[in-house]
Amino acid sequence: MENRPSFLGLVKTNWLWAGLGVLLGTITLLGLIVLGYFTRQAHAVKSSATPILVLIAAPTAYTAVPPPTEIIAPSYTPTPTFPPAVDGSLSQGRLVEVFGTEGDGLRLRENTGLDSKIVSLAVESEVFELQDGPVEKDGYEWWFLVNPYNLEKTGWAVSTYLRAID
């Protein structure tokens, strides 16, 4: 006859192991909770984001017209009227936008000429006011640009990538 453990002995052994497993798991869980409580940060560090680029819509020659206070059905078909077309010529005091750089931007320089130091980069559709110029140098027509929204962004640029907007 073989020595086999009794049924009651097996049940007691299995319950003993299960109980030890539950006890060990509970102790581990409580230890992790206590550890997390003492090692957590009191307040999360919040950093404020600083915008790198702010795009401002360029002013246009069109102005908004308020709606009429009383609607009267016209007995004729009205013809829309548009403001006069902009001639597109560049002159001092005009607003211009950077265009045609295909996303490369327009280099603003300290002085006229291709060998002059680059002081800033104007992005596509950025608006500037023509303050001085034109000056012919290195085969280009140069204008001194001032950003009306950021007076620190100024410099000389070639007229090839400028378009009058007012």
| Beta-bridge partners for 124 | none
The fourth-level CATH superfamily of domain 95-164 is SH3 Domains (2.30.30.40)
Q: Give residue 5's pLDDT.
A: 61
How many angstroms separate the Cα of 120 from the Cα of each of 84, 116, 155? 34, 12, 7
Q: How far apart are CA 140 and CA 18, in angstroms?
A: 88
- Determine the pLDDT at residue 68: 58
Question: Is residue 127 within 8 Å of 143, Cβ to Cβ?
Answer: no
Which 3 state secondary structure label does DSSP give 14? helix
Can you give the pLDDT at residue 143?
95
Give which of 112, 119, 124, 125 is closest to 156, Cα–Cα: 112
Q: Where are the domains of the chain?
A: 8-35, 95-164
Q: Which helix (H) or strand (E) holds 147?
A: strand 140-147
What does the alpha-carbon distance between residue 66 and residue 78 come to, in Å, rounded to a whole number? 17
* 166 residues of the chain, pLDDT tens digit each: 566 666 566 666 777 788 888 899 999 999 998 888 878 766 556 666 666 676 666 666 665 555 556 655 556 565 555 444 456 688 888 999 999 998 899 999 999 999 999 999 999 999 999 999 899 999 999 999 999 989 889 999 999 999 998 6
Strands 162-164, 127-137: parallel, antiparallel or unpaired by DSSP? unpaired
